Structures are given as structure tokens and as C-alpha cells.
Structure 1
């Protein structure tokens, strides 16, 4: 598959088949991820793969909690939140055979001094985000689906994901990626803005 095709085919997949994802495929995704650019060549990312039924169930419920918090934060009605619960618990939205949590180690940095704390943190998150994009594009090539989950970063939820991963507060969760074979064909959405709206030549 050509890169351009993978880019155009990538879309957020929220419903997955129950079948397992081979370990070789998971390793191929992470191999693609770590080929991403990394600020100061630090490679201070960590990919935690949740495959056991117990761990996946815990992650799934944390995602559900995060989704509810997000819906409340944008002032959606309890009626709509109840519809979300039905999608989550009755239809299995975001229930996947694999979850990959992507962390950065905040202790690994290039520039010393408090004045560089924010910059170092941003660089690390940007590096991890580029790694996630590589992972997602490789997934398209392998016939797998992914979706980026950021709601696990709500206070109280991120800490539980870290604990489940066996990590301490030195690690920051950049995102959780549900992974699996798409339950149904998902068509990429058309972008709302044109190239002219998001591009400026100077």
C-alpha cells in the first residue's frame, strides 16, 4: 500500500471484531511508531500494550468514564449521555481486543533548568503524537482500525491508567489507542475546512 493511500484511508474506528490481533502485527505497529521524529533524539516514549481480558476491561471502563466527563464538560444533556452509555455498554463502542497506551517519561530531557520545563514537555508530547500517527498509518496497511482517545487524560482517570500500566507520576499519558479489526467498513470523513482555509503562503 502506498503512503498516500494509507493517509486517505485512515479514519477513526470505534467498533471492532472480537478476534485477536497477532503479536507480530502489534510489534510492527510499534516498530513503525518509533521511526517517528523524536525531539533531541531522546526517544522518551513508552508503549504499554493491554491485551489481557482483565486489563482491557479496566481500560474500557476508564474510557467510558472519560467520555461521560467530556460530554458533561461540553454541557450535553443527561439524555444524550445516556445514549452514549448505550453505545458503550450495549453496542460495545471502543471495546477492542487491544489497547495501546502511549506515555512519555518526563525525566528524560535535553535542556536542564526550570525555564525549559514547558518546552521540553511540549517537545516530548509532539514526539509521541508523531509516533501515534505512524502507528495509525501502519495499522491501515495491515487492515487494522484505530482511534485516538484523549479523554483518559481527565484528572483521576489518567492516574488509574498509569497505575494499571505499573508506572509512577514521572510518566505522562499522551493517549490510549484502541486497536483491532474493524467491525464494519468505515469511510473517512470529509474535512470541514478547505486547503485554502488552513494554508498561508508568505
Structure 2
């Protein structure tokens, strides 16, 4: 597969088949992820792959909790909240056979002063984001679907995900990626704005 095919074919997949993914295939995603650029060469990321039924189920509940928190924050009407619950609990939106939780270790850093805390965190998150993009593009090549979940970063939910992952407090959650075989053929959406619309040459 050409790179352009993977880039243009990547789209957010929210419904997955109830079909397990071979561990070797999941490991291929991580191998692609760790070739991303990493600030100061630290490689301070950690990938936790949830694939066993019990942790997968617990993580799904935390995702659902995060979705509800998000929709409350944007003042979604009660009837739409009920539709969301139906999509999640009856139709299985975001229910995947595996999830990759991407963390960074805030104790592994290059600049040591407290005045650099925010900058070091930013660099680490940027590194993790590039790793996630690599993972998602590799998933396209392997016939898998993915979607980025950010709602697990609501305060309290992020801590529950970290504890579920068995990591110490220095680990910061960059995002959770459901992974699975798409229930339907993915159809990428066209971008609303063109490259020319969002670019300025100086």
C-alpha cells in the first residue's frame, strides 16, 4: 500500500466486528508507532494493549463515562443523551476487541527545572500524538479500523485508566485507541477546508 492510500483511507471507525486480533498484528501497530519522532530522543512513551475480556470491558465503561461527561459539558439535550446511550450500549459504538492506551512518563525528561514542566509535557504529548498517527496509518494497511478517544482524559477517568493499566502516577494518558476490524467498509469524509484554505506562505 502506498503512503497516500493509507493517509487518504484513514478515517474514524466507531463500530467493529466481534473478531479478535492476533497479538502479532497488534504488535505490528506498536512497532510502527515507535518509529515516530520523539522529543529529545527520550522515547518516554508506554503502550498498554487491552485485549482480555475483563480489562477491555472495564475500559469500555470508562470510555462510556467519558462520553457522557463530554456531552454534559456541551449541554447536549437529554433525548440526545439517551440516543448516545443506545448507540453505545445496544449498538456497541466504540466497543472494540482491543484498545491501545498511550501514556508518557513525565519523570523521563530532558530539561530538569520545574520551569520546564509545561514544555516537557507538551513535547511528550506531541511525541505520543505522532506515534498514534503512525499506529493508525499502519492499521489502515493491515485492514483494521481505529478512532482516537480523548474523553478518557477527563479528570478522574484518566486516573482510572492509568490504574487499570497498572502504571504509577508519573504516567500521563495521551489517548486511547480502539482497534478492530470495521463492521462496514470505512468511508473517509472529505475535508471541509482545502490545503490552500489553511496554508499561508511567507
Deviation at 1:152, TM superposition (A): 0.2
Q: For residues 186 and 70 of structure 1, what CA distance do their matches in structure 2 show? A: 25
Task: Note if 1:155 corresponds to 2:155.
Answer: yes
Q: Gapped runs of 5+ residues in structure 2?
A: none
Q: Match for residue 124 of structure 1? A: 124
Deviation at 1:66, TM superposition (A): 0.4
Q: Give the 3-state SS of the residue equivalent to 2:192 in structure 1.
A: coil
Deviation at 1:195, TM superposition (A): 1.6
What is the number of equivalent residue pairs in this alignment? 202
Deviation larger for 160-169 or 32-41: 160-169
Q: Give the 3-state SS of the residue equivalent to 1:195 in structure 2.
A: coil
Q: Give the 3-state SS of the residue equivalent to 2:96 in structure 1.
A: coil
Q: Give the 3-state SS of the residue equivalent to 2:197 in structure 1.
A: helix
Q: Match for residue 196 of structure 2? A: 196
Task: Note if 1:138 corresponds to 2:127.
Answer: no
Task: Note if 1:22 corresponds to 2:4.
Answer: no
TM-score (ref. length: structure 2): 0.99
Q: For residues 160 and 119 of structure 1, what CA distance do their matches in structure 2 show? A: 25
Q: Gapped runs of 5+ residues in structure 1?
A: none
Aligned pairs for 1:14-53 within 5 A? 14-53=14-53
Deviation at 1:193, TM superposition (A): 1.3
TM-score (ref. length: structure 1): 0.99
Deviation at 1:196, TM superposition (A): 2.0
Deviation at 1:174, TM superposition (A): 0.3
Q: Give the 3-state SS of the residue equivalent to 1:37 in structure 2.
A: coil
Q: Give the 3-state SS of the residue equivalent to 2:135 in structure 1.
A: helix
Deviation at 1:81, TM superposition (A): 0.6
Q: For residues 51 and 198 of structure 2, what CA distance do their matches in structure 1 show? A: 39
Deviation at 1:168, TM superposition (A): 2.0
